[in-house]
Amino acid sequence: MDMTEKKISSELIFDGKIIKVFKDKVECPNKEISYREVVKHNGGAAILCITENDEVLLIKQFRYAYNEVIYEIPAGKLEKGENPYDAALRELEEETGNKAKELEHLCDIYPTCGYSNEVIYLYLAKNCTKTHTHFDEDEFIETVYVPLNKVKEMILDGTLKDGKAICALQAYLLKYND
């Protein structure tokens, strides 16, 4: 069965700094007409950094949309045309003051596939050395190292809710902890 929807028309309804929102008219597989609101996003790169002592590098920052301080892995949006690998290296150093000699691609995720085209590229940082942070003028970030077993508990008790962190940790555990 062909499940593809055919775009009939598209209207830009919001043009922001980070996202664009479109209202698309589509023809469904059953030939019915419907509408889709689509958030267009350049995507992002996120980095899982685990030390030789099995500590996970997390950041804490206030997220306005949730009105709370949350734990996350370092991440950032891709600039238009930017390579995700380069963005991951940049974001790790900017947000945590760590420079990775190598990144291993873990997987890609679609964090909000119901209404957005965003892709987040997940990487594992290897052989990190400490440098300096380079926060954006509106970024206020605290870096913490948490033992891997404690991070597992944080996921289960709801302290760590960041989807990209949970996915990156899961991919890492599936690959390296049989």
Element (H, E) at 171: helix 163-176
Phi, psi of 76 (to 5 degrees): -170, 165
Is 118 considered catalytic here?
no
Q: What is the DSSP string of 26-54?
A: EE-TTS-EEEEEEEEE--EEEEEEB-TTS
Helix (H, G, I), strand (E, B), or coil: what is residue 93? helix
CA distance 2 to 163: 31
**Residue of 37, 137, 142, 153 marked active site:** 137
Q: What is the pLDDT of residue 178?
A: 57
Q: What is the DSSP letter of 159?
A: S
Phi, psi of 151 (to 5 degrees): -65, -40
The domains of the chain are located at 6-41, 44-176
Find the angle CA(131)-CA(134)-CA(135) to the nearest 5 degrees: 140
pLDDT per residue as tens digits for the range 55-103: 999 999 999 999 999 999 999 999 989 999 999 999 999 999 999 999 9
CA distance 148 to 68: 23
Contact 24, 31 (CB under 8 A): no
Per-residue pLDDT tens digits of the chain, which is 178 residues long: 899 999 999 999 999 999 999 999 999 999 999 999 999 999 999 999 999 999 999 999 999 999 999 999 999 999 989 999 999 999 999 999 999 999 999 999 999 999 999 999 999 999 898 888 887 788 799 999 999 999 999 999 999 999 999 999 999 999 987 5
Q: Give the Cβ contact number of residue 157 at 10 Å.
A: 8
Task: Count how many Cα atoms sit within 13 Å of the Cα of residue 139 in the half-sphere of its side chain.
Answer: 16
Q: Which CATH number fits domain 44-176: 3.40.50.720, 3.40.50.300, 3.90.79.10, 3.40.50.970?
A: 3.90.79.10
**Quick one: 115 exposed, middle or buried, by C-beta within 10 A (0-12, 13-18, 19+)?**
exposed
